Amino acid sequence: MKIGIGNDHTGIEMKNEIKAYVEEMGYEVVNYGTDVHESCNYPEYGEKVARAVAAKEVDLGILICGTGLGISLAANKVKGIRAAVCSEPYTARLSRQHNNANIIAFGARVVGIEMAKMIVKEWLDAEFMGGRHQDRVDMIMAIEDRNDA
């Protein structure tokens, strides 16, 4: 399984540690940047990873900015994306089991590296439960279709 990872300037160190951790878990990780410490615009990297997930270049995505908010808001503008901001592992697990989140986001200024690893592990280990949760995810995605009309 391939995981895309992206971040703004606040998340470079955390991205590198999370990338190595996810690779140790046996996943292939594609880095969409940034790797430059200069201040940059998080929507660019949120969109890059989201488009890669939507186009199935990668199976899932991980996004990091200062809070996880801006980069996930950008990702959620791409059709087919369900990006969940999580600051602890319980929500991370449920974001996959119930919401089938295809991107997880968190804040490098909010969580420490050990918490970030737990968040990522819970999310990757979890499986979408389907059933009534599928109906609800379908309802979310139908909102996108109504926007096209």
Which residue's CB is nearer to ligand RB5, number 65 or number 75?
65
The 3-state secondary structure of 65-120 reads ECCCHHHHHHHCCCCCCCEEECCCHHHHHHHHHCCCCCEEEEECCCCCHHHHHHHH
Interaction between residue 106 and ligand RB5 (CB under 6 A): no
- Our CA dihedral for 22, 26, 28, 32, rounded to 10 degrees, sits at 0
Interaction between residue 66 and ligand RB5 (CB under 6 A): yes
Which residue's CB is nearer to ligand RB5, number 67 or number 95?
67
Compute the radius of gyration of the chain from its Cα atoms.
Answer: 14
Which residue's CB is nearer to ligand RB5, number 77 or number 136?
77
Q: From the list 32, 49, 51, 67, which residue makes contact with ligand RB5 (rule: CB under 6 A)?
A: 67
Interaction between residue 45 and ligand RB5 (CB under 6 A): no
Q: How far is the CB of 67 from ligand RB5 (least distance, A)?
A: 4
Catalytic-labelled residue, pool 9, 37, 86, 98? 98
Interaction between residue 70 and ligand RB5 (CB under 6 A): yes
What is the helix (H) or strand (E) element at residue 49, kind and residue range?
Answer: helix 42-54
In this structure, which amino acid lies at residue 8? D
Active site residue 98: yes
> Within 10 Å of residue 34's Cβ, how many Cβ atoms?
22
Q: Which residues bind ligand RB5 (CB under 6 A)?
A: 8, 10, 42, 65-67, 69-70
